[in-house]
Amino acid sequence: MSRGLRLYKRLALGALLLTFVVVVFGAYVRLADAGLGCPDWPGCYGKLTPAHAADVIRDVHAAAPDGPVSLPKAWKEMIHRYLAASLGLLIIVIAVLAWRLRDNPRAAPGVALALVGVVIFQGLLGKWTVTLLLKPAIVTAHLLGGLTTLALLAWLVLRASGAVQPMAAPSHAGRSPRRLQLGARLAFALLIAQIALGGWTSTNYAALACTDFPTCHGSFAPEADYANAFHVVRELGMTADGELLSNAALTAIHWSHRIGALVAGGALLLLGGALCRRRATFDVGVVLLAALALQVGLGIANVLLSLPLPLAAAHNAGAALLVWVMVWVNFRLGAPRALPFVAPQRRPDPALAMAIEEGRS
């Protein structure tokens, strides 16, 4: 491995770890009700740090002690912005290095450049999260953008490491059948849909709409208002008509997340079992099942313990971990490269061969 590729791999791995921190810390900021700790962007009351705006923050907090602004909340919000900005700069460096290494198939400059676009859009979503006052659609999109960044960086790290890929095609060679590939892709899609439901649940503050388990309000068919629960364009806590979002709508959001957990969790469980039955994929299967068990346990604990902040943040970390594992799984089961075309050899016509021999004699 060349020195440039070694540096590229280390930077990509560092960016992957930093992305994980940014995603989890962003969830912590939201769950700690610090998303509007600095209600402007990119600074804090026009200043570089909350320390420079401390007098203004204290005045705002004194006027509304129960509001979203306080000095500790402002620091949480700004630390998240500093981390995200550092990640953005690191990804730009990675993209430049990937372009310089573009002749090396492990560099994947196209993916690195796509990451720059994702990060720019993430910055805009971060801005809109604040300036549009935590609209659920924007905050959920911001979460998905962070996990997209994590997934692309995980793929870059695997590619730069020269990890085994692909493992598809002939079963006699110990590789994975096509249907296992399709199953992994379907399970990944269901996981993303479930994470989106989880983000929608969190950003609408519906995590405690059902406080019992496995039932909700003592029923497996709780009263729910699905019509107003999933309007995308609306204010936080409001319906599309500008009325307060009802408890029935919050129940619909929470219960949908639980149903989604059954569907996505079942798909991941089946996939993990299938991977464990094959020697070549046993390791990723075990890791997938362990990550799934951890995430399910954290989800149940959050309901039964009334959403303690550390467990709620850990549940977001579990989602990010599952995304990383599913990138690994799908990378290992990647589509087979096309074999070079070899023209089939035809048996010579016996009569033609005899005529050629007679001509030579």
Distance separating alpha carbons of residues 324 and 301, to the nearest angstrom? 23
- Please check whether residue 147 is in contact with residue 320, taking contact to mean a CB–CB distance below 8 angstroms: yes
77 classed as catalytic:
yes
The span from the first CA to the last CA of the chain, in angstroms, equals: 58
DSSP reduced 3-state for 198: helix
Cis peptide before 214 (omega within 30 of 0): yes
| 201-to-21, 134, 252, 260 alpha-carbon distances in Å | 21, 13, 10, 12
Distance separating alpha carbons of residues 187 and 271, to the nearest angstrom? 7
- Please check whether residue 113 is in contact with residue 11, taking contact to mean a CB–CB distance below 8 angstroms: no
Burial of 238 (0-12, 13-18, 19+ CB in 10 A): middle
Residue 22 makes CB contacts below 8 A (sequence gap 6+) with: 80, 83, 84, 87, 146
- Please check whether residue 306 is in contact with residue 208, taking contact to mean a CB–CB distance below 8 angstroms: yes
**The one catalytic residue among 77, 223, 235, 358:** 77
Tokens of 240: 């599309």
The residue assigned the tokens 């994947």 is 108
Tokens of 238: 């409001």
Active site residues: 77
